Amino acid sequence: GDPTPTTPTLPKVEVKDGATYLDGKKVVPESDLIASKKSLEGQLAQQQTAHETAIDTAKLDVSNAQQEIANLNAKIKENEQARESGAVSDEDAAKVKQNLETAVSSIGTLTASALEHRRALLVLKYGVTEDTIKDKDISQLDSFEEALKAVSTARGGGVGPYAIGGGTGEAAPQTDIERAAKILETTPVRGVRNAAPQT
């Protein structure tokens, strides 16, 4: 009754059209994967910088528009007082009011643009879904980002599963086959979920 010893077989290695195949499956050198990862990290950094620059520009434009509104409001008060005394024409007063209305509509557009860029940055930087933040204003997004920073993982700076609603923290969710394999691995006796204690 001794079983016949089996000799281990080596995997079959083939090279076709410059690609390496191991037992019929394509193999990619680790150096290629590392290079791709570095390239993607560089692209991500560029996109984050572009979004941050756009946000800063929009904030500066909003600040300038707010300053212009304050100046125009002061000018309107001056004009109203001067008009009462007859020093300013109705035409000049109407022109200042028109400038104020233009500045107010401009600030609305700029604020919306800054908000859009900020949301895109949070989606890009932390991987949150857009639905999570679509209704938040600037101050809520500031608070949300601070919370994301607080729960971010050490690995890569992304948020952990707590912040985005569960998951494994891996790049792709587990498939049904992977989940079943993991359950089988942790089951002490195959086919028995709760094995009798070993004594």
> Is residue 27, in this structure, part of any structural domain at all?
no
Cβ atoms of 75 and 62 within 8 Å: the answer is no
In the chain, the percentage of residues whose pLDDT exceeds 70 is 78
Q: Is residue 138 part of a domain?
A: no
Q: How far apart are CA 168 and CA 155, in angstroms?
A: 14
Nearest to 59 by CA among 181, 124, 142: 142
pLDDT at 5 over 60: yes
Sheet of strand 19-22, all strands in order from the earlier edge strand to the far edge: 13-16, 19-22, 25-27
Stretch 31-58: mean pLDDT, rounded? 88
Q: Give the pLDDT mean for 69-74.
A: 85
Tell me the C-alpha distance between 59 and 53, whole Å. Answer: 10
Instruction: Give the per-residue pLDDT at 178.
Output: 81
Total domains in the chain come to 1
In a domain? residue 178: no
Q: Is residue 154 part of a domain?
A: no
Task: Name the least confident of 3-7, 16-20, 102-106, 129-133.
Answer: 3-7
User: What residue numbers bound the domain in which 50 lies?
Assistant: 45-129
Between 129 and 198, residue with greater pLDDT: 129
Inside any domain, residue 10: no
Task: Answer whether residue 78 is part of any domain.
Answer: yes
Domain assignment present for 192: no
Q: Is the pLDDT of residue 154 over 70?
A: no
* 24 occurs within a structural domain: no
Query: Can you tell me the mean pLDDT for 93-103?
Result: 83
pLDDT confidence bin for 193, thresholds 50/70/90: low
Q: pTM for the whole thing?
A: 0.40
Per-residue DSSP letters for 67-121? HHHHHHHHHHHHHHHHHHHT-S-HHHHHHHHHHHHHHHHHHHHHHHHHHHHHHHH
